[in-house]
Structures are given as C-alpha cells and as structure tokens.
Amino acid sequence: MLFLLYWLNWFVFSNRSSAVLLEYRHLAKALHNHTDVGLGPTVLAHLFKNLHAATLENPLNLSAPGAFWMIQIWLQVYFPELRFPDIVLP
C-alpha cells in the first residue's frame, strides 16, 4: 500500500515538495484492496488546485507542479484549432 501511496504522490498528484502526502491514503488503500475507484473528480480537483496556484501565486513560474500534460492533451483533443499543425489525432 505504501508503494501505491508513493506512486499516487509522484505520478498522479505531484506536488512541489518531494514529501509523500497522506491525503491520498484512502485512494491507495482502495487501489490496494482492488476496489473500484473513480479518480476523475479527484484528479480534476487536483488540476484545478494547481491551476489556481500557477495563475495566482506566480504566473511566470514555468515549473509549476501538477499533471498539466493532462490539460494539454485534453485541449488538443477537444480544441483542434489550438493543436499544433503537425499533430494528427484519429
């Protein structure tokens, strides 16, 4: 279960510190017990929290924490006019 908590903190809910936050232990426990978990609302809340921090605390900080790649993929899939011309999606 500790590995899952570390994995969630490092890859899914990354933060500025290298510390493992215990606020996601309920998700790690559910994943450990093979319980169905809907990560969508939790990931979305984490992304909004990081977007808030990135825009209000230091707007010019290019190393803001979080999985901003998820937002980039979402933008490129749903808004083709914002997509780079050399990216082809099915």
The pLDDT of 71-76, averaged and rounded, is: 80
Compute φ and ψ for 88, nearest 5 degrees.
-115, 120
- Looking at the structure of the chain, the number of domains it has is 1
pTM over the 0.75 mark:
no
Dist CA 11 CA 4 (whole Å):
10
Dist CA 42 CA 90 (whole Å):
28
Query: 71: domain range?
Result: 2-82
Q: Let me know if residue 75 belongs to a domain.
A: yes
Q: Let me know if residue 87 belongs to a domain.
A: no
- What is the pLDDT, as a whole number, of residue 35? 92
Cβ atoms of 39 and 27 within 8 Å: the answer is: yes
Nearest to 42 by CA among 56, 25, 54: 25
Q: Let me know if residue 89 belongs to a domain.
A: no
Q: Let me know if residue 34 belongs to a domain.
A: yes
Q: Which two tokens stand for residue 72?
A: 């980039």
pLDDT per position as a tens digit, 14-72: 777 778 888 888 889 998 999 998 878 888 888 888 788 777 776 666 666 667 777 77
pLDDT at 6 over 80: yes
Q: Let me know if residue 61 belongs to a domain.
A: yes
Cβ atoms of 17 and 41 within 8 Å: the answer is: no
